[in-house]
A = this chain, B = another copy of it.
Amino acid sequence: MAERDDTEKQPVHKRGYGVSTVYETLRNEIIELKLAPGSPVDEQQLSDRFALSRTPIREALVRLAAEGLITTLTNRTTIVSNIDFLGLGEFFDALTLMYRVTTRLAAANHQASDIDGIRALQLQFQTAVEARDVLGMIATNRDFHVAIAEAGRNRYYTDLFTRLLDQGRRILRLYYSSFNDVLPRQYVGEHEDMIQAIINRDIDGADKLAAAHADQIVSQIRSYITADNRQTARLPL
């Protein structure tokens, strides 16, 4: 689909920042599906592109592999990890639990200053919705929930949740064309309710809202997938 011809060279790196640059760049491109799942990741190609030797490239790839974003076949090749549709059940389960836990903890542990950041991101999300900027919605929605997780002050949950949300971004992007506007608008309202519950330190309320929110998103994705499947099933044979 999308060509990867936009290989701009970024020649100058400070010593020690080469790997993290490569890591972050590739990470973004994988999450934003600029690099298609299953597509091969060539070390020499990246070496040329970033004007770095293969050693720092490799270290970045090792980090990406540790996060499961790429898969390395020993001695042969490394590819962008495929989206595991069979494991989607596990994914949704974990995602829902993390939505709930992080929102609960935010209600319990947040400090006043956290709210400002959350509010700002909610505003960004809202403007993205109004502008019908689907990609922006996906990104800002992610940031909004990460901010809530950080207000909850449990790094273990935040780490797992962030990884799950980023995984989710890959899936959402696959289906973003089918977005309509009624759901996103609803999300704005749900976000608003969640913020209120957090401010009121209403832990159980926050939990319930988060659970409902998660269910919304999960069933939305599920419906996209089954709709997609139906299309394939209708293919003339």
Contact = CB atoms under 8 A, between A and B. Distances in A.
A67 B66 CA distance: 8
Interface in A15-42: 15-16
Contact of A160 (B55, B66, B67, B156): B156
A97 interface: yes
Contacts of A59: 58-59, 62
What number of copies of this chain does the assembly contain? 2
Interface in A92-120: 93-94, 97, 101
Interface string A143-158: 0000000000111110
Q: How large is the interface on A (under 10, 10 to 19, 20 to 34, 35 or more residues)?
A: 20 to 34
A82 to B, nearest CB: 15
Contacts of A155: 87, 90
Contact of A156 (B74, B94, B101): B94
19 contacts: A16-B75, A58-B59, A59-B59, A59-B62, A62-B63, A62-B66, A63-B66, A66-B66, A66-B67, A87-B155, A90-B154, A91-B156, A93-B154, A93-B156, A94-B154, A94-B156, A94-B157, A156-B160, A160-B160
